[in-house]
Amino acid sequence: MLDDYPETLMNIEWHNPSFTPGNSDFDIPEYSSRASMYGVGGIPHTQWNGVQETVGGYANGNWQAFIGTFTSLYNSMVGEETPYEISINGYAGSEVSYDVTISMDADMSNSNQKVDIFVVEDNIWSYWTGASQYHNARNVARDWLTTQDLTISTAGESETFSGTFDMDEDWNADSIKIIAIVQNYVSKQVYQVTAVNINDMNPDIDDDGILNGEDNCIDIFNPGQEDYDNDLIGDACDPCDNLVYILGNLNGDTDENGIPVIDIMDVLSLVDFLIFDDSYECQDPILNINGDEFVNVVDVIALVQSILNGDN
């Protein structure tokens, strides 16, 4: 089925230590956590979209006897709508770096929504004593990299989860994939899944000659990597690059030449902050006008004096 539906059917094969082929390293500690999540008892056990299970199999690895059940489950789920899209990019070497980006095309609550990222190895030819035959093990779980809360909930938003992992010397690098899923940890519903072979990831998304792991603006072409404020976020994608949001320019406005304008509107913005204690990330570093580490009415006076004296 994986070969028949490569774009819409994806799996992770977890191995119970009691049923793992001898002399293999298929069983990993994370198995027990995943099995506990679904209440796995009988083996073999399948879990479809996190919510529909089958338990048991046929003697001698007779998978043909189960194909009708599996096909019915697949057909009942393949058309389900989801607001999520997942893209995976990165760079593969002895250490693999990855960026998993979740984007949304419709609103949906993020309550109990999590992102899981796994490493699997595909197409491992292995002998199974229970079936007295060799079996092509598909997408065998090698590592459960991370589970993180998904914080986005509105159409048009996106969130990126980045990390690295080391390649084990016993893995076949050509068969290693990263699989990312969005799953609700209360209902167990899987809302989206994407897999990519590590050799198929785009190591330079914006084609600026700087690999993703070193690029200070991964999605925006900036070969010069300019970073005026040295905050490791390039000027091309930095909303607070110290070019516009300089001390006192609280509302971030400029003249026709792109020069910051500091005027009465900035004073009003500072007064609003003092009254409502509400600011955004670009304002926070430039609120303390007199540099005493406290933001209060003295800063309002200092800003007014600076404007009247033409010090900006």
Q: What is the pLDDT of residues 136-194, one digit of tens each?
A: 999 999 999 999 999 999 999 999 999 999 999 999 999 999 999 999 999 999 999 99
Residue 14 gets which letter from DSSP?
A: -
Rounded mean pLDDT, 235-249: 83
Question: Is this model's pTM higher than 0.85 or not?
Answer: no
Q: What is the pLDDT of residues 278-292, one digit of tens each?
A: 888 888 889 999 999
Strands in 140-149's sheet, in edge-to-edge order, are 140-149, 113-121, 176-184, 190-197
The sign of the torsion formed by the CA atoms of 205, 210, 216, 220 equals negative
Rounded to a whole number, what is the distance in angstroms from the first to the last CA of the chain?
68
**Long-range contacts of 282-288, Cβ-Cβ distance < 8 Å, separation of 24 or more:** 282/239, 282/240, 282/245, 282/252, 283/245, 283/250, 285/240, 285/245, 286/245, 286/246, 286/247, 286/248, 286/249, 286/250, 287/250
